[in-house]
Amino acid sequence: MVTDEQTISKSQADKAGKILRNHVTDEALQALSNWRAMHAQPLSVAYKLLKQKAKILNKGAILSQRLKRTPSITAKLQRYLEMKLSRMQDIGGCRCVLANKEQVLVLANELTKKVMKIEKNYFDSPKKSGYRSLHLSYKYNPTKEENAKYQGLTVEVQLRTKVQHAWATAVEIVGLFNREMLKASTGNEKWLEFFARVSDEFAKMEQLPTTGLFGDNNVDQIIKLDNELNALATLSKYRVTTQFIDKKAPSIGEYYLLILQDQEIKIQPFTKNGYQRAVETYLALEKQFNDDRNTDIVLINAQPLKELKKAYPNYFADSHEFIRLAKQTIKR
């Protein structure tokens, strides 16, 4: 991945992070955009390795990569007051979704033999919210002199099962439509409890440890919460319409800007050579919609185009797999 981004130092990134923790300025946003763009090269290398190993294991593996959204970065800086922007490991991130836990563990073992390490094991120790996955880190060590400026930059690699992906997708969909950060465990308490309880039942399906927070009547409580929230019916009704922003743009790109606004998702594709323009457009849109809580924007890579919806079903309000699994759980 070749970029023409303006590089900045770690100290400059940290200075911008301190400013953004309290308020947004154009200068700080530009610094953040530059710092974020610098992670494209390390992310590309990590993604290629991940894809190579994953496809050997499972040709149907779902892979994607993305640069973290500005609102997510600032929210994280505000949650963790001691965190420095230069030490945030998920500015760039890639993900692999596999069929089951056995495949995930085999892949994790392959990836950690040399170049990656497990940072968080949410398989054995799930979050109280019910979130489960394996988080690995990849620290970039360039072999070419021209890439020395990226030395030591770290990106995150997430490994999930299909069941875990379905659960996380549903959480994000409800959060997007209700304008709440449910994925960060803030928002409607009943929705949070509903998802946490369902996650424990999903863990039992996959023979993984539960959170240990709920008793033997967990399914009864899920049914009660589903009735109170009309949860599964509500999820099934969420819909978004899709359109390409630029009719002249290629329908098949290397990168895609997704803009979710008022239950409509707009897709703007960019070719491999158009990465810098994609980054600039990303920043311009973030500035434009900075105070608009009804708009979410993300720059991602998911190839081919048909994989986009599989990799990011939350942006398309596609929760059918979660609903299917939840109904299966309730019927037990």
pTM of the model: 0.88
Which has more confidence, 260 or 38? Answer: 38
| Tens digits of residue pLDDT in 45-65 | 999 999 999 999 999 999 999
CATH of the domain at 149: 3.30.460.10
Domain count, the chain: 1
| Domain assignment of residue 102, given as a range | 10-330
Q: How far is CA 138 from CA 103, 151, 178, 224, 242, in A?
A: 20, 12, 34, 43, 34
| Tens digits of residue pLDDT in 226-258 | 999 999 999 999 888 777 665 554 456 678 888
**Is residue 3 included in any domain, yes or no?**
no
| Tens digits of residue pLDDT in 268-320 | 888 877 888 888 899 899 888 877 777 888 888 866 666 778 888 888 889 99
| Tens digits of residue pLDDT in 187-211 | 999 999 999 999 999 999 999 999 9
pLDDT at position 167:
98
**Is residue 1 included in any domain, yes or no?**
no
The overall average pLDDT reported for the chain is: 89
Query: Does residue 263 have a pLDDT over 80?
Result: no
**How far is Cα 108 from Cα 100, in angstroms, rounded to an integer?**
13
**How far is Cα 133 from Cα 124, in angstroms, rounded to an integer?**
9
**Is residue 209 included in any domain, yes or no?**
yes
**Is residue 4 included in any domain, yes or no?**
no
**Is residue 138 included in any domain, yes or no?**
yes
| Tens digits of residue pLDDT in 174-192 | 998 888 889 989 999 999 9
**Is residue 2 included in any domain, yes or no?**
no
**DSSP helix/strand/coil, 154:** strand
**Is residue 123 included in any domain, yes or no?**
yes
**How far is Cα 272 from Cα 274, in angstroms, rounded to an integer?**
5
pLDDT at position 242:
76
